[in-house]
Amino acid sequence: MYRPQIKVLDCTIRDGGLMNNWQFEDCFVKAIFDTCCNARIDYMEIGYKSSESAYSRDENGAWKFCDDADIIRVLGEDCADRGIKLSAMADIGRIEYDDIPPKERSVITLIRVACYVHQIDKAIALAEHCMDKGYEATINLMAVSRAMERDIDEALNDIAKCRVPVFYLVDSFGAMYCEQVERLAKKYVAALPGKTIGFHGHNNQQLAFANTIEAIIHNCNWVDGSMYGIGRGAGNCPLELLVSFLKNPKFDPRPIYDCVQHEMIPLREKIEWGYHVPYLITGVMNEHPRSAMKFMEAPKRGSFVEFYNKIADGTTLE
Amino acid sequence: MYRPQIKVLDCTIRDGGLMNNWQFEDCFVKAIFDTCCNARIDYMEIGYKSSESAYSRDENGAWKFCDDADIIRVLGEDCADRGIKLSAMADIGRIEYDDIPPKERSVITLIRVACYVHQIDKAIALAEHCMDKGYEATINLMAVSRAMERDIDEALNDIAKCRVPVFYLVDSFGAMYCEQVERLAKKYVAALPGKTIGFHGHNNQQLAFANTIEAIIHNCNWVDGSMYGIGRGAGNCPLELLVSFLKNPKFDPRPIYDCVQHEMIPLREKIEWGYHVPYLITGVMNEHPRSAMKFMEAPKRGSFVEFYNKIADGTTLE
């Protein structure tokens, strides 16, 4: 028996865009959207809401900003009526309240506020501001694998008292094993009665899908995936695996298989996301993947063993 | 605190050879052996013991047969003194007792007998025969995800009464989620007091490593991995992930990272093992991967969706 509360969010464009500064072809973004609609995914996260003053349009594609004009131009006039809800992520410190239009002037339904543990008060304020403007909102607490327990407890205490209904467990560094996911999911569920817990994994150790299952077992009801696992570094939970696993008959994996074959495998020739030893190493070491991304992007790659030795020694690679 | 009972077996050549009929270059096999020695892996499975009368040397490389002369020629005269134990697998029905030399005439230490559930009596007889000749022995019950519970119970009852000390839980089709692994591992442990339980996974759903962790949590103490996950179809648990995870300080992951960089990534250009949608589909459907392998090997690949539809409809693809 499936759990009808489980919602699936596709983050292909938003998290995948971290690999190419959101410079996707319009037809690619439309294909992802159509795939999500046809597979009956609940939410599609189209990108970030960011201030134009903070980032340049020369360096970043449209999905760094998620203007409604761009969304409608690419996804179609009827994009709000296709049975899927559109989402955008907002990073604390990279957006002003005025950058967020009232809901009645936007096709976006959900704004997910991403923050580090020391930014939790700002995240709550921004998320509640979005709710006041008419949006659904979540808070996604990043990099929790490196946060101190005392700080997590205080954050959970603040979240429990706020109006934001959904709170995400995020394995930003792909550092968690199932036992860590179990422990944190139980902690979040216990600390936040009446709220929904989400899970967003990274695939540094080929555990993003397994950890998503673990999160579901421990009562996380919002889960993220991306087509063929595209995302920063080692990427995310592959949506085709997640939807093949979930038993809700409304989901159809076939459009996703088709999208992987005709959109993602060709794109993978140009952007090298996914499992690679440098991402394994930063994951095992509970490090941000930026040093591994730099390693992977170098015109001539160095030695895996030297990379490991530097990370293990704590030598800064940047 | 690590569990000293945990033994790691590398099956790079044995399971990887299912993708190329064991036609590896000698220097590649030697590199895998040296890597396993340097990483201080417990066992290396060099291939299959098979009857020369059952298979042709024209079609199959030396590691389909595992003659001692070939092993010593490629791994070196001192290969039995490098601190690692050599293993070979024997499939029921593809080997005669006389094909197995007495232990004192072989550098092989361990023979793993692979069987389906209806062959369990033959497997016990062969494994005990190997023990009588001086070898260590295990029985690896394949395709248990498609066996009937009554037959598994009877097999466990037979295993409990035999002299073979190690019995493997094998997810041949990459069909299991952590809950199936947990249930079967607990069942095997409970049914076989005094025996050691092993685990061998396949990566169709990117769960081979996660399921290996799950098996370890539930007291499986022998675990298999292969360099960069090479193996039939979607492959096995990547050894570099497994060794990075295990806490026993004797293991060193660095030789494995080096081997992945200089041996496995180049080989991957020639042999396309690993996660692919057709393997996902046979895994989810609990089917043998042969139809997916046929799909992958075709000069012009068909449609993932048509492949899914045929498998879902139960249409024979062969």
A58 and A22 share one domain: yes
Report residue A291's pLDDT band, with 50, 70 and 90 as the boundaries: very high
- Of chain B, the percentage scoring pLDDT greater than 90 comes to 97
CB contact under 8 A, A305 and B258: yes
CB contact under 8 A, B206 and A211: no
ipTM of the complex: 0.95
- Does A96 map to a domain? yes
CA dist A238 and A209 (Å) reads 7
B132 and B95 share one domain: yes
Domain count of the fold of chain A: 2
- Does A125 map to a domain? yes
A36 and A174 share one domain: yes
Whether residue B178 lies within 8 A of chain A, CB to CB, comes out as yes
B197 and B86 share one domain: yes
B281 and B193 share one domain: no
The alpha carbon of residue B164 is apart from the nearest alpha carbon of chain A, in Å, by 32
Query: Chain A residue with minimal CA distance to B280?
Result: A241
CA dist A23 and A16 (Å) reads 10
Q: Which of residues 84-143 of A touch B (CB under 8 A)?
A: none
A250 and A292 share one domain: no
A119 and A167 share one domain: yes
- Does B221 map to a domain? yes
- Does B1 map to a domain? no
A230 and A309 share one domain: no
Q: What is the pLDDT of residues A64-88, one digit of tens each?
A: 999 999 999 999 999 999 999 999 9
Say yes or no to pLDDT of A317 above 80: no
B305 and B258 share one domain: no
Whether residue A9 lies within 8 A of chain B, CB to CB, comes out as no
Mean pLDDT of chain A: 97
Among the candidates A251, A268, A285, a domain finishes at A268
- Does A113 map to a domain? yes
Which residue range(s) make up the domain with B284?
A: 277-313
CATH number at residue A166: 3.20.20.70
Note whether B96 and B51 are within 8 A (CB). yes
Q: Where are the beta strands (DSSP E) in A40-107?
A: 43-48, 85-91
Note whether A95 and A66 are within 8 A (CB). no
- Does B2 map to a domain? no
Q: What is the pLDDT of residues B116-147, one digit of tens each?
A: 999 999 999 999 999 999 999 999 999 999 99
How many beta carbons lie within 10 A of that of residue A145, not counting itself? Answer: 17
B28 and B122 share one domain: yes
- Kindly give the confidence (pLDDT) of every residue in chain B, 318 residues in length, as a single tens digit, with 9 standing for 90 and above: 899 999 999 999 999 999 999 999 999 999 999 999 999 999 999 999 999 999 999 999 999 999 999 999 999 999 999 999 999 999 998 999 999 999 999 999 999 999 999 999 999 999 999 999 999 999 999 999 999 999 999 999 999 999 999 999 999 999 999 999 999 999 999 999 999 999 999 999 999 999 999 999 999 999 999 999 999 999 999 999 999 999 999 999 999 999 999 999 999 999 999 999 999 999 999 999 999 999 999 999 999 999 999 999 886 554
Which of B206, B227, B311 is the mutation pick for testing A, counting most A CBs within 10 A? B206
CA dist A200 and A223 (Å) reads 6
B233 and B291 share one domain: no
A193 and A299 share one domain: no
Measured N-to-C along each axis, helices B290-297 and B277-284 cross at an angle, to the nearest 10 degrees, of 170
Whether residue A236 lies within 8 A of chain B, CB to CB, comes out as no
Q: Where are the beta strands (DSSP E) in A152-253?
A: 166-170, 196-200, 222-225
- Does A305 map to a domain? yes
CA dist A295 and A298 (Å) reads 6
Residue with tokens 């009645």: A104
CB contact under 8 A, A261 and B213: no
- Does A304 map to a domain? yes
